[in-house]
């Protein structure tokens, strides 16, 4: 399959003119940008979270949290709700991950044991439903231990991807301590989901008091982490590395991909290495991302259950209509890109 390229305004105008001409000849229905049927569109949500049984530990339950976060954590721990949501939202498959910040280490637990405990529990949860796939939770900041656990999670547990934090303490994902994990993922052909994290120093400095403000802080960290990957030389050293980011990192896409505020080949690097999720299913954001990177770099991902909502299938189709995506672009975003990236069997 030849990946689609970023769509320019000129190309869209040309396509519109071409379809207008075909309509005169009676061929518009066959070549319409909108699919004849949406019922057959496969939906794969790669950005979803769960807390397998036993991982919602007392230290987390006793921590001071915004009410919204406490509710989200409760939904993450509802394994039956996870399975029920697949049917309710029209989702065919979900790739789930466990946020490390939601599962604190137990007293005396090493980084290796902490990762192993989480990934074992995640694999057990995925075994309960063939529609669920696990993305290995890796503490990339643990050096070689992260790479070793990733290899174990793939070889022994069948993990289909690598889930890491965009930052930890005063380190970003581009830090040298993370290189073994990135090298292992590149060697294994696994995508690395660089996930937004909360930044406590921002919360303290600015007295963050709402869920909205907290997510703005997470967006700032996510964008800074992506910029650090662009500027650190990681992509030069690991040309086959595939990175997934949340749409929270759109600021880095704009500054690096449009305004040349980093290295001059930033946009080419983004188009080669970066995939972006669809959190929010906002048509202007989807169109913006596709115009910078190409539709083959957009992957359906909702951050469920942080952002839930009604039928995912219906919401995606509505956003795709508004963003004027072709039938092939819809197929790629809804499932094709995830199948290719995570190497999912039919």
Burial of residue 2, with CB atoms counted within 10 A of its CB: 0-12 exposed, 13-18 middle, 19 or more buried: exposed
Q: What is the pLDDT of residues 140-199, one digit of tens each?
A: 999 999 999 999 999 999 999 999 999 998 999 999 999 999 999 999 999 999 999 987
Which is it for strands 274-276 and 243-245: parallel, antiparallel or unpaired?
A: parallel
Tell me the pLDDT band of 273, cut-offs 50, 70 and 90.
very high
Helix, strand, or coil here: 79? helix
Q: Tell me the C-alpha distance between 262 and 266, whole Å.
A: 7
**Cα distances (angstroms) measured from residue 265 to each of 12, 185, 239:** 25, 23, 14
Q: Tell me the C-alpha distance between 48 and 307, whole Å.
A: 9
H or E element in which residue 192 lies: strand 192-195
Q: Tell me the C-alpha distance between 10 and 33, whole Å.
A: 16
Tell me the pLDDT band of 237, cut-offs 50, 70 and 90.
very high
8 A C-beta contact, residue 96 and residue 133 = yes
User: What's the whole-model pTM score?
Assistant: 0.84
């Amino acid at each position: 399959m030849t990946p689609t390229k970023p769509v320019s305004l000129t190309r869209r105008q040309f396509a519109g003119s071409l379809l207008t001409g075909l309509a005169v000849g009676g061929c518009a229905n066959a070549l319409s940008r909108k699919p004849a049927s949406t019922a057959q569109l496969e939906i794969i949500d790669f950005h979803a979270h769960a807390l397998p049984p036993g991982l919602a530990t007392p230290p987390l339950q006793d921590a001071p949290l915004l009410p919204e976060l406490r509710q989200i954590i409760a939904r993450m721990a509802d394994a039956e709700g996870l399975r029920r949501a697949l049917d309710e939202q029209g989702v065919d498959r979900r790739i789930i991950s466990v946020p490390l910040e939601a599962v604190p280490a137990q007293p005396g637990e090493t980084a290796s044991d902490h990762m192993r405990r989480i990934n074992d529990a995640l694999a057990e949860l995925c075994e309960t439903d063939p529609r669920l796939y696990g993305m290995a939770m890796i503490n990339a900041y643990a050096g070689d231990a992260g790479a070793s656990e990733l290899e174990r999670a793939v070889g022994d547990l069948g993990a289909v991807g690598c889930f890491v934090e965009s930052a930890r303490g005063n380190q970003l994902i581009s830090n040298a301590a993370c290189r073994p994990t990135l090298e292992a993922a590149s060697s294994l052909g696994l995508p690395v989901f660089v996930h937004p994290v909360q930044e406590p120093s921002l919360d303290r400095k600015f007295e963050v008091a709402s869920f909205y403000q907290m997510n703005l802080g997470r967006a700032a960290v996510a964008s800074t982490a992506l910029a650090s990957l662009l500027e650190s030389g990681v992509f030069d050293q690991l040309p086959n590395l595939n990175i997934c980011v949340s749409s929270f990192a759109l600021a880095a896409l704009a500054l690096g991909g449009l305004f040349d505020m980093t290295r001059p080949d930033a946009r080419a690097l983004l188009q080669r290495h970066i995939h972006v999720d669809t959190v929010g299913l906002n048509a202007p954001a989807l169109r913006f991302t596709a115009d910078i990177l190409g539709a083959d770099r957009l992957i359906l991902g909702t951050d469920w259950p942080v952002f839930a909502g009604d039928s995912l299938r219906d919401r995606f189709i509505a956003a795709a209509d508004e963003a004027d995506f072709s039938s092939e672009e819809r197929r790629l975003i809804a499932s094709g890109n995830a199948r290719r990236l995570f190497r999912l069997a039919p």
